Homo-oligomer: A and B are copies of this chain.
């Protein structure tokens, strides 16, 4: 889930597949969130790093698979990620990017042709859109979608396993559920380890260093009813925050909400 990923909007009828969504981005027809685009297709978080940092970042992801589930990785300098789409150019197929130099956000272009380098390695990480689709399909209500808000996210006191310059706290997203729905949500999301998988915590937020659920670090607070428990999933904001903190000389991410829409189906990520 991205920092400011908007809730599911009605799907655009003309963007039925991952390829159609990417072609629309490539054509400059999309400038914001891809939430609701190409229902059923996997959307991913983007992290692009120079080769000399990519090995450390890869190790970081492998050591922290719940916040950083890799679903695609490119060869150095190659703007294609064949595993995620046959006609996929990472320089143009995301609606809006963020370009970082020395940890500073310097621009938010709609393509990367001006700043592409032949040492860049692309990482695509799974996103909670996929498991949220599975939860909704099962009839579980998602408060942030019902109320048209961003999901609430929190920095925890749980440290990720560090790798090179990449280190920092686990960031989690929170969704309130009744106990029965929380149990069902554990079952459903456990099937999808490539998109954050099962929850990392539930019920006792202070144990992971969350002092006040009403004050999320990212996104917007969600009401938790008396008959509900807060359920926490590892969040794709974790690697973005870690990259920002590492202040690499050069890095590219997606602009919040502007995900890479792939050719993979969400159901293809189910482990069983």
- Interface residues of chain A, those whose CB is within 8 Å of chain B, are 178-180, 182-183, 186-187, 190, 198-204, 207, 227, 229, 272
Contacts and interface: CB of A to CB of B under 8 A. Distances in A.
A180 B203 contact: no
A188 to B, nearest CB: 10
Nearest to A208: B179
B186 A204 contact: no
Given A183-B186, A183-B198, A198-B183, A227 B207 contact: yes
Contact of A203 (B198, B199, B229): B229
Number of chain copies forming the complex: 2
Contacts of A178: 207
A205 to B, nearest CB: 9
A159 to B, nearest CB: 15
Given A183-B199, A187-B190, A202-B229, 10 more contacts: A178-B207, A179-B202, A179-B203, A182-B203, A183-B201, A187-B198, A190-B190, A204-B227, A204-B229, A207-B227
16 contacts: A179-B202, A179-B203, A179-B204, A180-B200, A180-B201, A182-B203, A183-B186, A183-B199, A183-B201, A183-B202, A186-B187, A187-B198, A202-B203, A203-B203, A204-B229, A272-B272
Contacts of A199: 183
A182 B229 CA distance: 13
